[in-house]
């Protein structure tokens, strides 16, 4: 693609003020630009303290310059990094100077660095992928490491970036290729009396491959959970204690809590972590009939959030269970949830205010007190179990929903392979096709086989300068 031939430049640090800011340039033949910006040549992979010069040779700032000649750089191209003071104005001046210096003519009349332009989101990482410095799973791990919301997610992303997930995928692919080779050999030489598949224990190899795939898929689901977490919505009638429960789970006063019904008019969201798993908890407006226009909008948004949840905590007030009107309203909400919610959304009955009504908790659901904290641990463990988290899992790597889907496709193809292999010669051509499709699904994870539009979606989510 033509744009991948252009040199690119960007500010690689987050917007705002900081002690240090970085301007990064990547392309082919950066030495003339290095001379124009730093006034001297730089030794490869060695930090040099120098001035960063404007067009008149006056220093815009002083800092560290690092030059990484190709192919020994992050992108596989020549890379220049200017580490300056982290003021937004300083960094914008340096970036503008890079573009200006690149356009200036050399003695031969050619520009210092032709076609230098601002980088697109994720373009540095995209070039690292295209130049075989990292695979697609590792590239995604860069963004996951930056976006990690928990320590466990950060450590898992670091393992993926180091290649742990890719190693698992490559092992599966190698075993799959070997099995494909046996099937193709049998198809190519049907006149031979040697039964390649039986002699090579193709059935045993397929069984081992399926078992290994199941293990990798389980770890991948855990990795996806660490990255994405689950969305939990707290719902119920006004004054059931929804905001108090959110505050108790978060360990902070995030939502306003009063005795006035209808205090919460809009949803309040907070991401918390339980054993390193992120949970996006949303407090919603109390569900009831209302003539207040503002409250009606809040209730409508509450139902919308409930419909998009992975789990709903249906909060009941133990102190009002003896009230006929309250029980009828709870029954109406239960019916509405049954009608509106997809079957994939789990509803957990949570009985609040256990401190005020300790003898009224029903046998089902979870009884707790958002005020005292009693029962909160049981709720946390229930949420982890609902998410499918396996405590004590070691060596997890971060993963995404698309990785899980790809591995599930592989699993489906291998199940069909098992059926076709049992039919021997009658279905070997179909068996070979299923193995090929399984390998394509695996390759889509690491990017060895991937459509250009998939690459565009992945890298467009990156930040500028990465």
Contact between 49 and 63 (Cβ < 8 Å)? yes
Strand 277-283 and strand 366-367: pairing? Answer: unpaired
State yes or no: 204 annotated in a binding site: no
Order across the sheet with 346-352: list the strands.
268-274, 277-283, 230-236, 311-317, 346-352, 366-367
State yes or no: 133 annotated in a binding site: yes
State yes or no: 96 annotated in a binding site: no
**Tokens read off for 254:** 């995030």
State yes or no: 258 annotated in a binding site: yes
State yes or no: 243 annotated in a binding site: yes
State yes or no: 76 annotated in a binding site: no
State yes or no: 114 annotated in a binding site: no
State yes or no: 360 annotated in a binding site: no
State yes or no: 241 annotated in a binding site: yes
Residue 440, Cβ density class (10 Å: 0-12 exposed, 13-18 middle, ≥19 buried)? middle
List beta partners, residue 274: 277
State yes or no: 466 annotated in a binding site: yes
d(CA 160, CA 177): 23
State yes or no: 320 annotated in a binding site: no
State yes or no: 242 annotated in a binding site: yes
State yes or no: 112 annotated in a binding site: no
State yes or no: 24 annotated in a binding site: yes
d(CA 85, CA 93): 12
State yes or no: 451 annotated in a binding site: no
State yes or no: 357 annotated in a binding site: no
**If we measure between CA atoms, which residue out of 97, 111, 78 comes closest to residue 23?**
97
Residues 6+ apart with CB under 8 A from 78: 26, 27, 28, 29, 30, 31, 67, 68, 69, 70
Half-sphere exposure at residue 237, Cβ-oriented, CA atoms within 13 angstroms: 21
State yes or no: 285 annotated in a binding site: yes
State yes or no: 240 annotated in a binding site: yes
State yes or no: 264 annotated in a binding site: yes
Binding residues for K(+): 239, 258, 260, 263
Binding residues for Mg(2+): 243, 264
Binding residues for (6S)-5-formyl-5,6,7,8-tetrahydrofolate: 24, 81, 133, 466
Binding residues for GTP: 239-244, 258-264, 283-286
Binding residues: 24, 81, 133, 239-244, 258-264, 283-286, 466
């Amino acid at each position: 693609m033509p744009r991948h031939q252009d040199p690119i430049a960007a500010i690689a640090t987050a917007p705002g003020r900081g002690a240090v800011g970085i301007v990064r340039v990547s392309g082919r033949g950066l030495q003339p630009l290095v001379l124009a910006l730093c006034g001297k040549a730089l030794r490869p992979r060695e930090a040099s303290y120098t001035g960063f010069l404007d067009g008149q040779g006056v220093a815009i700032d002083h800092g560290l310059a690092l030059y990484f000649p190709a192919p020994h750089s992050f992108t596989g191209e020549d890379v220049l990094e200017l580490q300056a003071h982290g003021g937004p104005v300083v960094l914008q001046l340096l970036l503008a100077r890079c573009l200006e210096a690149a356009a200036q003519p050399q003695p031969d009349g050619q520009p210092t660095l032709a076609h230098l332009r601002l980088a697109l989101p994720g373009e540095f990482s995209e070039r690292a992928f295209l130049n075989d410095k990292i695979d697609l799973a590792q590239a995604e791990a860069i963004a996951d490491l930056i976006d990690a919301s928990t320590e466990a997610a950060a450590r898992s992303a670091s393992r993926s970036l180091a290649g742990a997930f890719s190693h698992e995928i490559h092992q599966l692919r190698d075993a799959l290729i070997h099995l494909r080779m046996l099937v193709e050999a049998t198809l190519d030489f049907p006149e031979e009396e040697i039964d390649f598949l039986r002699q090579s224990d193709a059935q045993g190899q397929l069984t081992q491959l399926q078992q290994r795939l199941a293990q990798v898929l389980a770890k991948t689901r855990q990795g996806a959970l660490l990255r994405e977490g689950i969305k939990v919505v707290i719902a119920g009638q006004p004054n059931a204690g929804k905001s108090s429960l959110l505050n108790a789970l978060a360990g902070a006063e995030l939502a306003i809590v009063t005795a006035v019904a209808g205090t919460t008019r809009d949803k309040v969201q907070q991401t918390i972590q339980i054993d390193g798993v992120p949970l996006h908890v949303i407090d919603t407006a109390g569900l009831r009939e209302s003539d207040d226009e503002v409250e009606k909008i809040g209730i409508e948004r509450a139902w919308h959030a409930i419909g998009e949840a992975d789990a709903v905590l249906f909060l009941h007030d133990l102190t009002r269970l003896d009230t006929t009107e309250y029980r009828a309203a709870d029954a109406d909400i239960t019916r509405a949830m049954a009608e509106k919610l997809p079957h994939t959304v789990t509803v957990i009955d949570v009985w609040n205010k256990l401190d005020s009504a300790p003898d009224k908790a029903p046998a089902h659901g979870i009884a707790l007190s958002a005020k005292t904290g009693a029962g909160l641990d049981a709720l946390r463990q229930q949420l982890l179990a609902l998410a499918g988290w396996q405590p004590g899992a070691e060596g997890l790597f971060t993963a995404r929903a698309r990785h899980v889907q790809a591995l599930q496709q592989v699993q489906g193809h291998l199940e069909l392979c098992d059926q076709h292999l049992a039919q021997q010669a009658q279905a070997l051509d179909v068996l070979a096709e299923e193995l090929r499709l399984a390998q394509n699904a695996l390759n889509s994870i690491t990017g060895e086989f991937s459509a250009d539009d998939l690459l565009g979606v992945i890298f467009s989510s990156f930040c500028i300068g990465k």
